[in-house]
Structure 1
Amino acid sequence: MTSTSVVTPEGPTVSNRPDVELRLPAESAYVAVLRMTTAGLAARLDFTLDDIEDLRMAVGEACALVLEHASARGDLRASFDLSDGSIRVSISADSEPGSEPDSDSFGWQVLTALTSDVRTHREGALLWVSFTVRSSITA
């Protein structure tokens, strides 16, 4: 995650919070909302239409990978770190301990083909899939 400098009356402070965060019920019906939010953020960064569609597809695949292991009544979370020409996306869901995305699945292959720096990790009950997408204009 990127760090953001904020100037307060007491002086500058550094925050490790993402630029945008979204929390939804961990149900596949809400993935469309997340994909639409992602497209809007990419458009603000002047991604091409092809880049935006690749990013939307990558978010859908990352959601599928974490929702496969999501706990009933859990949350689906997304955080976005925006920079000039790239977006770092992190998708997570509350899941059962020991569950991991299948790195041999078709969804994983699509995700790694469309993005760079794909990683998974666990933070307590949260299973995370993170990746970066760079605009083809700045690549």
Structure 2
Amino acid sequence: MTEETAAPSPGATDVRDAVTVRMPADSAYLSVLRTATAGLAARLDFTLDEIEDLRIGVDEACAMLLTQALPGTDLTTDFELTGDGMRISVSVLTADGRLPARDTFAWTVLSALAGEVDADAGPDDRVSIVLHKRRGVAETA
């Protein structure tokens, strides 16, 4: 995995905070991640509905990735809090670097909940799903 300096998206204010949560790639730990997501979103004054959408979106992204995670590896989640939103990158090491299918119901739900969604694979077969939710912006699926 290559390290990159966090840069704000065009039109966004500078990155205020960056938080990384690393835990075993096991669904038993997802409640911790949902709580962290909600706490960070509340810090940015997201509405209760937006916070719940993000919690469910992160949970859905993790569910998609955990099916591919190599046993005994970690699930890593990077949060970037900006003035107008939050960028969340969830990643795991996989055996083949296969990206999640974008033509599934799960991807459609994820896109509706999180706003901008993308996926990529690194050279070490680390697969990431990246969510970018802006505060107060009505999303279209």
- TM-score, with structure 2 as normaliser: 0.82
Q: Counterpart of 2:30?
A: 31
Shift of 1:137: 7.1
What does 1:23-102 correspond to in 2, within 5 Å? 23-102=22-101
What does 1:11-30 correspond to in 2, within 5 Å? 19-30=18-29
Amino acid at match of 2:6: T
State the identity as a percent.
42
What SS does the corresponding residue of 2:89 show, helix, strand or coil?
A: strand
Q: Counterpart of 1:127?
A: 127
Contact 1:19–1:82 (8 Å) recurs in 2:
yes
- TM-score, with structure 1 as normaliser: 0.83
Amino acid at match of 2:128: W
Contact 1:67–1:93 (8 Å) recurs in 2:
yes
Contact 1:85–1:138 (8 Å) recurs in 2:
no
Judging by fraction of residues, say which structure has more strand. Answer: 1
Shift of 1:117: 2.5
Amino acid at match of 1:130: V
Following TM superposition, the consecutive aligned residue runs of length 4 or more in structure 1 with deviations greater than 6 angstroms are: none
Q: CA RMSD in A?
A: 2.2
Q: What count of residue pairs does the alignment treat as equivalent?
A: 127
Contact 1:69–1:100 (8 Å) recurs in 2:
no
**Cα shift readout 1:2-45 (whole Å, capped 9, x = no counterpart):** 349xxxxxxxxxxx9x7000100000111111010000000111
Kindly name which structure, 1 or 2, has the bigger radius of gyration based on alpha carbons: 1
Among 2, 6, 13, which residue is 1:2 paired with?
Answer: 6
> Unpaired runs of 5+ in structure 1?
5-15
Amino acid at match of 1:71: L
**Cα shift readout 1:45-78 (whole Å, capped 9, x = no counterpart):** 1111111000001101110111111111111000
> Unpaired runs of 5+ in structure 2?
9-14
